[in-house]
Every structure is written in C-alpha cells, then in structure tokens.
Amino acid sequence: MKLATIRTGDGTRAVRVDDDHYAPLDAKDVGELLERPDWPDLAAAPPAREPLGGTEFAPLVPRPGKILCVGLNYRTHIKEMGRELPQYPTLFAKFPEALVGASDPVMLPPESDALDWEAELAVVLGATVRRADLAEAEAAIAGFSVLNDVTLRDWQYRSPQWLQGKTFERTTPFGPVLVTPDELPGGCRPRLDLSCSVDGELMQKAGTDDLVFDPVELVRYASTMLTLRPGDVIATGTPGGVGHARQPARYLTAGARLVTELSGIGRLDNAVVAEVAA
C-alpha cells in the first residue's frame, strides 16, 4: 500500500496511491490517518478513482510530533568522515518547519553558503511504543519514505551539537509516498537502492543494507528514551558522497536541482532557491 498527503483547493488530504490514480481518505494528512488504530482498513477500503497527474504532494507527514535523525549510520559515510563504527546510534532532532514536499523548493538561507545534501530512508511510525522489543518495534513501523536531510555545514559545526545546522526552515524534502513494509524487499529491514544527484550528476549511491543500525533497531533504541507515536519519523542516516567530504568541498547553490530516489518508494525532485530574508 502507498499513502500520500496531497494539496487540494481546501487544504491537504491523505490519499492512497495506486499506480497513476489516487483515492481520497478520511483524514487531512497521513499523520492524522496513522493516529487511527484501524488505519490499514480505512486506507484499503476506497477504490482509486482520481488521476494522479498534476497532483501536488505536501510533506508526507506535515507536522510529525517528533523527527529523529541518525548521524553516521552508513559504513561508507562513516569511513569518508574518518570515524570508527559507532556502538550506539548518533541521534539528533529536526522540527516540522524544516519540511517541504516532494517537488517544493529547498531554501538556501542567506546566512549560509554551505548547503549540503544527505539522501535518506525515512521510517514512519504507525503505532505507539515505549521500551519496545524487536518484535514490537517491527510491528510499530507503518512504512517508509524518502527524505533528504539538507544540512547547513557552516552552522552544523559551529558547536559540537548539530541541531542548528539541521533544521533551518523549508530545507528538508520528505515524501512523496509512504510504502508499507509488505511491498518492499526485506520488509521492515528493506533492501533498497538509495541515490542523490545534483544537476544530473550522481553524488550518492548505496544500498540500505549498508546501514549499521537498521530501522527496527532504531525504533527499539529510540523507544527506550521516549514514547514513539503514530506519524513520528526517524531519518536513518546518509551514505557516502556528501558535498562536505569532497576535496574541495562542494555545496548546493541557488538554481541547483536536487534529486533523491529510493527504489520501490519514489523520488524527490527539488529546486534550490535563494531565500530572501524578511
């Protein structure tokens, strides 16, 4: 099953996507839908009846209660950054104001000239869990989506804490759809091809089997600290090939086209636009 949040003349609407059609659902967005314990039945019921062409995707979950992000979770990326494999996940947060849709502009803030790409697999929660074991963590995963954790490197490294470089407004594309685990090879530990290109040049390419901590383990670990709820998001980390690690470093500029893809899920296609400070 594929779910999405689309923009309509009356706001947003959760929909089920079937090939080139969609079926409107009784929720304003996927986050609201997932709060219903019977969401799989609700999403499966309506027939697909509207053409998908020209539909505008909002962020998959427009306002998650939590967006947890994992740093240094692909072996290739850890090596290019000159670090050792971690014993525990490196976690930081992002806030909903950072999110944009699958084809929305990504903002280049006037305060930075070091905007970098980070293609990621995103986990979306579909149940409430606390101190989950692995079986409970697996059962709590509603599905997976695509996210690019666009990062302001000059702000990220102003201090040992990364938050300030990770959550500038309107910098993080998220979508276009949620795909349930039963439709993906590997299920809740999906085996997918992840890539990122800038202006048609391939920058990142990896398989999600290169993850140090897989999605189920990340849900288990994070739920030890706090209650995870439907619609919460975990961005699982990025592989090697980021601009900051290149010699010389390379960053996104105004007018650049950023494309992020995950096999079996979909594609984000975003133009980088210089933000004018108010």
197 & 226 share domain? yes
Convert the pLDDT of each residue in 215-249 to its tens digit. Answer: 999 999 999 999 999 999 999 999 999 999 999 99
pLDDT at 95 over 90: yes
Report the C-alpha gap between 173 and 166 in whole angstroms: 13
**Do both 114 and 31 map to the same domain?**
no
**Quick check: pTM over 0.75?**
yes
Percent of the chain whose predicted confidence (pLDDT) is above 70? 100
Residues 121 and 131 occupy one common structural domain: yes
Which residues, in sequence order, are bridge partners of residue 24? 15
Q: Are residues 203 and 109 in the same domain?
A: yes
Q: How confident is the prediction for the chain on average, in pLDDT?
A: 96
pLDDT the model gives residue 58:
98
Domain that holds residue 13: 1-58
> Are 219 and 243 contained in the same domain?
yes
Q: In the prediction, which pLDDT does 106 show? A: 98
Is residue 235 domain-shared with residue 131, that is, in the same domain? yes
Domain match, 51 and 64 both? no
Last residue of a domain, one of 43, 58, 73: 58
pLDDT tens, position by position, 40-93 = 999 998 888 899 999 999 999 999 999 999 998 998 878 877 788 899 999 999
Q: Are both 134 and 43 inside the same structural domain?
A: no
**Residue 260: its pLDDT value, please?**
98
- pLDDT tens figures, 175-220: 999 999 999 999 999 999 999 999 999 999 999 999 999 999 999 9
Q: Which two tokens stand for residue 172?
A: 């993080």
- Whether residues 32 and 65 share a domain: the answer is no
Q: What total number of domains does the chain contain?
A: 2
The torsion angles phi and psi of 43, rounded to 5 degrees, stand at -75, -30
Structure confidence at residue 170 (pLDDT)? 98
Same domain, 162 and 47: no
> What would the two tokens of residue 163 be?
């938050």
pLDDT of amino acid 189: 97
